[in-house]
Structure 1
């Protein structure tokens, strides 16, 4: 908790003493009783009555001093308060919010596959306010009924009535992204709806006056993002307040506008400029600052907590310079507190669980340092290629597409220090600190690959949307080091690839081999903590245990938290669903701040420029494989040791229909018989059990995968 310095307390005490003396009836010119700031728990101290009485009756002076003392203590304690961050809570908007959600790019794939389905789930679960409109805006010429039919197939149809209610709240407006006319119409429609939701159907005169006053206030504000007073001294919105005062009295309804930019970032600058000019002023004149305070103090201002916010989709540039240029162009119109740069990985359940895992569990947090941890791997694998959509990917590559953003955020959460509080900026401050401790990755700190045709599947260069002869990597393993006291010397390998053998996102933390083990060498049985984000969320620790039986033998097993087993029947929300709700609540914890973005780009920009110049070798790998062979030695050189361990071959989370011991035993016998029939016998069975995870293919990296060389994905 931050406190005012003692000299500030003394100054505050003197000011309050003057006010308290006047309130207690001391005549003008009579000195109030001197006040000494007490130690905690002590009472206020005054000079004896009469010592500074200035001719007052001693009894009257004592009574006045006692009253003044109480008043002074109450007022003084108002100056001794925690940091505003310590008192922060995410907004619970309740049912009084009138919310407009505008989806720009409503005709695109992202909107229909992610944005609208996430909004529907929030609507279905009761997390959106009753007074709601969702406006789609795009260049495509389409009517509102056509938009609703287009969306219907992407919504959960289990509750037809709820689907219809949701679709009835959706409308569509055609407009260009680089022309003002569409945004003017959009702003007018938003104000008209807000007026109607506040007081009923407004007259044309009211709407015209409110719109004109809002535009005048906006011009006066000179781009002020939080509704601050313009140069002329009058707060923005006063004219609008006068025009709208007859509509809803001295305090208006609580209003919210959320603009979701499901658009390519190349159009962000002009879209953000037009939104600020024509759509940022709430009905009644409020500017909707990101902190939730209303703009201006006119009679018809929107209620406390009204807001205007923007959600922006990646990519945010292609290197540090382009990212900064984009941030400058957006920041010229919108302040940071109103911008929500979405990274859907920050909405995943187990990514959000990282803070809890690290800072609420001493059993884990105690070994999160260089003294115990040998190496860390952060892995992302997709089992499909570009599939005809290589035009976008070819201009970015796997590092820009996945590693610089999604996996860098996981890295920051995994290695940051404990934040002062759960305030979004306290958390993001720590993420920025640790990202700034990471030196830029060098040419010797990466292995790149590009998938080739195999087993009937096309190679990357076979995609007609990919530039012929492209050297864009579809696989990358990058090694980085955090140069601080906690992590210095610990290699962190970030791996990502397309057209691999499975779908997987996981963190693998391998601990050092125990020194001077009484059980002999244990390099092949290192402890590991694995967090699997997808598929089938799980957290498990690999450990050495005594093998059941009469002999003193040991083997590796696991402490296992598999979410499908532990949380049966619990539906884990989609990442977009969670993040959109956070934005409505004003919680920026899981959104990327500008300085975070800058720090992440600084790590990878030199390497990206070298890759673009062709200075880094590109290794081909077969479609459906585990990646380039060259990555094996790279990971071994980073300290990774292959472990003799396998995930349970028949695990309830993977076979939910099998729950009895007899069923599990039968399945195990069938698996053993199949291995023997394949010609491997018992030795092959042991190799199949040990091989997958040893190379990363078992446990978090898959179930029942074929043996593979150590160190691969």
Structure 2
């Protein structure tokens, strides 16, 4: 048995112990895209890997009326039913009932349905644990969560409420959200899910930083010039324009997903690895971040490029929309470790490729012995292919004395070819079943993060700041290189390097 097998068995035992052999997972919004594309595929993988207790039932709930056949089609829409094993057995534990999101009687009906399913499947009274997954629009979080607690909650059992982002749109709306949710549910029962915290490289960040002697001494402003955190997506907002137009690039991924990357890179070492200690350091860090200024911001919106439509050509987007589909913001931390180090966070739709990475660019060596020596960089590839590599300078092999850029490379698919890395939603649902909060977002952290972003967001909206145009499928606005250069960034992308090969001519 490998170390990974031992870890998996340990986690399965924790799930069984916490849930006493049974659980009903209620997916509210089961007919929506999130459930079809993310939630059900994750649940299926966990079923395949036998993470569920023996007496597990999955109940879908939404406003759409449909029979079991139609529901099962939606459950398997993102599952390869021809290649995957166990689909038929998985569907046997998947049930569906329709109802409204704001009617008491609908949730009484849901409770009766869950009770009936549990009874038919021999679920004992001490196994009636319930997990409620809210895959619904943000405007119905409160009425749904309140009615789940009032009518479907199981006293004396394990209950959990999973809520997807967005968590408010600014400081005031987040405070109201928190008041409503925590006014109904106990804090220990609420899991605010940011799926980036389930990604392998983010979960590895603390090990990378705090389990290696050589990183900590140089993890500061003396050695690091700038940090770039980037998420690029090659697709536009087609079909989601109505949602996106309300939130924009900053609220969509920067204030949440990419800020989690920032937190794990920049926070100080926690006193221990407990969720409480980590949350404390994240909050302390965010409280030291200065509110973002407009001058440290570049906004963009994609335009038509050939047959690729412009953002404003989406029928669901408001005419003349000033919503940014691209944004770069610069964060400054007012503490000793990171004084004068810019953290440049970039995100955009309809760009030239797909990637999410953190790029830590070190300062140039003083008195450069070799002319124009490139800077060292530590690059953490979060998606699509997990990797960590350190770019360093070395002598060209053979007779040449020239400098050559090479790397110390940990590419997961090459190093761990037999290891199946769980997707983010799989890992996080397992954490909920274990009752483990380590990879979820906390209230204090969210309050501190909104303090950083709210003044900027309000200024953009009040002054109607017009985003810079950029063609669909490109790197972003024309001003991007000039903008980041102000902060000392040298564009040392992989394309600019002449990577060493095995057949170098010595």
**TMscore range, shorter length:** over 0.9
Structure 2: runs of 5 or more not aligned: 1-10
Q: Check the 8 A contact 2:303/2:311 in 1, yes or no.
A: yes
Q: Distance in 1 between matches of 2:258 and 2:450?
A: 12
Deviations 1:3-38 (A, max 9, x none): xxxxxxxxxxxxxxxxxxxxxxxxxxxxxxxxxxxx
Q: Distance in 1 between matches of 2:476 and 2:92?
A: 48
Q: Check the 8 A contact 1:376/1:509 in 2, yes or no.
A: yes
Q: Distance in 2 between matches of 1:160 and 1:432?
A: 42
Change (3 A) 1:645 1:328: closer
SS of residue paired to 2:394: strand
Counterpart of 2:5 in structure 1 is: none
Out of 470, 473, 477, the position equivalent to 2:324 is 473
Choose between structure 1 and 2: higher strand proportion.
2
Q: Check the 8 A contact 1:104/1:138 in 2, yes or no.
A: yes
Out of 125, 137, 143, the position equivalent to 1:270 is 143
Q: Check the 8 A contact 1:336/1:593 in 2, yes or no.
A: no
Which structure: larger Rg? 1
Change (3 A) 1:167 1:144: same
Counterpart of 2:152 in structure 1 is: 279
Counterpart of 1:590 in structure 2 is: 439
Q: Check the 8 A contact 1:103/1:137 in 2, yes or no.
A: yes
* 1:7-406 mapped onto 2 (5 Å cutoff): 92-94=14-16, 96-157=20-81, 162-194=86-118, 253-282=126-155, 286=156, 288=157, 307-406=158-257
**Does 2:500 correspond to 1:500?**
no
Change (3 A) 1:526 1:648: closer
Q: Check the 8 A contact 2:322/2:465 in 1, yes or no.
A: no
* 1:569-608 mapped onto 2 (5 Å cutoff): 569-608=418-457
Q: Distance in 1 between matches of 2:466 and 2:487?
A: 19
Q: Distance in 1 between matches of 2:296 and 2:465?
A: 10
Q: Distance in 1 between matches of 2:130 and 2:492?
A: 53
TM-superposed CA distance for 1:256, in Å, is: 1.9
Change (3 A) 1:649 1:518: closer
TM-score normalised by L of structure 2: 0.92
Q: Distance in 1 between matches of 2:332 and 2:480?
A: 18
SS of residue paired to 2:61: strand
Q: Distance in 1 between matches of 2:280 and 2:12?
A: 18
Deviations 1:535-557 (A, max 9, x none): 11111111111111223221211
Q: Distance in 2 between matches of 1:474 and 1:443?
A: 16
TM-superposed CA distance for 1:331, in Å, is: 1.4
Aligned residues: 493
TM-superposed CA distance for 1:569, in Å, is: 3.3
TM-superposed CA distance for 1:158, in Å, is: 5.2
Deviations 1:426-445 (A, max 9, x none): 11111111111101001111
Out of 624, 628, 631, the position equivalent to 2:473 is 624
SS of residue paired to 2:260: helix
Change (3 A) 1:459 1:647: same
Q: Check the 8 A contact 2:40/2:76 in 1, yes or no.
A: no
Q: Distance in 2 between matches of 1:438 and 1:388?
A: 35
Structure 1: runs of 5 or more not aligned: 1-88, 201-251, 289-306, 653-660, 670-713
Change (3 A) 1:646 1:155: closer
* 1:307-706 mapped onto 2 (5 Å cutoff): 307-520=158-371, 522=373, 525-643=374-492, 646=495
TM-superposed CA distance for 1:255, in Å, is: 3.9
Q: Distance in 2 between matches of 1:628 and 1:479?
A: 16
Counterpart of 2:8 in structure 1 is: none
